[in-house]
Amino acid sequence: MSVHLHSQIPQSALMLTAAAIPIAGWALHVRALHRRLSGDSLSGALRRPEFERRARRIIRRHHGEVLLCVVDLDYLKRINDNWGHEAGDAAVAATGARLVRWAGDGAVGRFGGDEMAAITWVPAASDPTVVARAQRQKLTELKRMLSEPVDTPTGPMPVGVSVGGASALHLGVSDLPRLMRGADVAMYRTKHQPFPGWAEQNDLRARQVNGRRKGRPGTALAVESQPA
């Protein structure tokens, strides 16, 4: 019976079926390679180009529901000096994991040693005030989550994280650069404070250097530019 069925299957179909297994394996390999190249293995966050691509897609889909935050891990150098680089890595890894959990179906990116960003959304309500209140609560929840001690082999390690948030609805903007600018300025304004920063309209007019807030590392020798 099996011989009879085999004789009825075209040779080309058999060849395609045989080739499907290595092709499927190659596709899985390519996807895994893409994840490694677009992601940061330590924090579990995306690298900046992939984060920005996904963030723009989320903004297009969710508009005023979007909440974007910028995060700085405070005193990372001090952690490395006093606790060792393994402890510093643990702080980065824990911060990344907490951001991923907070963002849910959103996206998390790592832009530098201690600088990360996350984008998520809060389901819209009929009253914009309700949306803004829910977004502020979610931002406060993030600050509390990120400030929890990190477990290390030598015991719980205290961490400090500065957080700034930008609401697309509150600011009336729907483009990633201005949301990033607002969140970054709000974060810097409340640096080392026990509460998160909340971006306001004035924050969108902050001076920037090569797309980064004036005062950021690496901008001292660059040419200043006014926001668009």
Q: Which tens digit of pLDDT belongs to each residue from 116-138?
A: 999 999 987 677 888 888 999 99
Q: pLDDT higher for 114 or 30?
A: 114
pLDDT at 97 > cutoff 80? yes
Give pLDDT, residue 155. Answer: 81
CB 223 within 8 A of CB 161: no
The top-scoring range by mean pLDDT among 2-16, 57-71, 149-163, 205-219 is 57-71
128-146 and 85-103 helices, crossing angle to 10°: 160
As a whole number, mean pLDDT of residues 28-38 equals: 39
Cα–Cα distance measured from residue 196 to residue 192, given in angstroms and rounded to the nearest whole number: 9
Q: What is the percentage of the chain residues whose pLDDT exceeds 70?
A: 73
Q: Is the pLDDT of residue 222 over 60?
A: no
pLDDT of residue 176: 96
Q: Smallest Cα–Cα separation from 106: which of 63, 48, 51?
A: 51
Token representation of residue 147: 């400030």
CATH number at 42-202 = 3.30.70.270
pLDDT-derived band at 39, boundaries 50, 70, 90: low
Q: What is the distance of C-alpha 100 from the center of its chain?
A: 7
**Closest among 101, 104, 96 to 150, alpha carbons compared:** 96
Contacts of 1 (CB under 8 A, 6+ apart): none
102 Cβ contact list (under 8 Å, min separation 6) = 118, 120, 138, 141, 142, 145
Q: Give the model's pLDDT for residue 218.
A: 41
User: What DSSP letter does each residue of 83-98 carry, written as one string?
Assistant: H-HHHHHHHHHHHHHH
Q: Which two tokens stand for residue 49?
A: 């180009």
Q: What is the mean pLDDT of residues 32-56?
A: 77
End-to-end CA distance of the chain: 75
Look at the pTM and tell me if it is higher than 0.85. Answer: no
Average pLDDT in the 185-197 region? 94
Which element (helix H / strand E) includes 183? helix 176-189
What's the pLDDT score for residue 43?
A: 83
Q: What is the mean pLDDT of residues 133-148?
A: 95
